[in-house]
Amino acid sequence: MDTKHGIRLENVSKHFRKGSDVVRALDGIALEVPGGALATVRGPSGSGKTTLINLVAGLMRPTSGAVFVAGERLDGLSPAQRAALRARRIAVVFQMFHLVPYLTTIENVLLPTLAAPAAPGENLAERAQSMIAALGIEHRTGHFPDELSVGERQRCAVARALLHRPEVVLADEPTGNLDPDSARRVLEALDTCRAEGATVLLVTHHPVDSIHPDIEFRLENGVLSG
């Protein structure tokens, strides 16, 4: 496995307390996605898919087990170190778009440049325009989020997440509320990331017929199978 750019979970569990009960969101799962591969995790709502994405993104710590992403063991990093890793090397496409309401489409896409400026010789403004066009929202560059459809907002969020050419892309139900054309564009953008060498982990309970995953997993009741 390409451990430098891949994803590995070793016997990972995540449990939550709800009153006197313990909710086993994930229970002793093992997962490996080599660098440069696209993997899907399919499963019904409530199966633990969002918890899985949050663990791999370093947004929460596992109850037990180890999470390795892009050569880093996440539970060995401080919150600031995990945030820095996300800013430059890990992109997360959330179910909720998290667009800034007072910024236009192009301004939202370019927002990551405030935390991580462009690499030498890279023109991120030009890349942002290119990605917006590829996702079919070039006619919306000057519009605010409340002027966009649900599909357009998701495509704006995808463009923003992929702006810095991340090594690892994590997508949480990115096509869940989209029409077929918008869903196809989002999946094709993720597939392009794989073609460019990124590792992609996509969790969904929707069909992904327009792309061909390298690896497919199934998650039910917090238990993962391959």
pLDDT in tens, 54-101: 999 999 999 999 999 998 999 889 999 998 888 889 999 988 888 999
Domain boundaries in the chain?
7-225
- CB atoms < 10 A from the CB of 89, how many? 19
At residue 204, φ and ψ (nearest 5 deg) are -165, 160
Residue 193 near residue 17, CB atoms below 8 Å: no
pLDDT in tens, 164-216: 889 999 999 888 778 888 888 889 999 999 999 999 999 988 777 788 999 99
Whether the pLDDT of residue 3 is over 80: the answer is no
Band (4; pLDDT cuts 50, 70, 90): low
Candidate from 12-21, 104-113, 143-152, 192-201 with smallest mean pLDDT: 12-21
Question: Is the domain defined by 7-225 classed in CATH 3.30.1360.20?
Answer: no
The dihedral through the CA atoms of 223, 44, 210, 160 has a sign that is negative
Instruction: Specify the pLDDT at position 121.
Output: 67
Instruction: Specify the pLDDT at position 155.
Output: 92
Name the 3-class secondary structure at 1.
coil
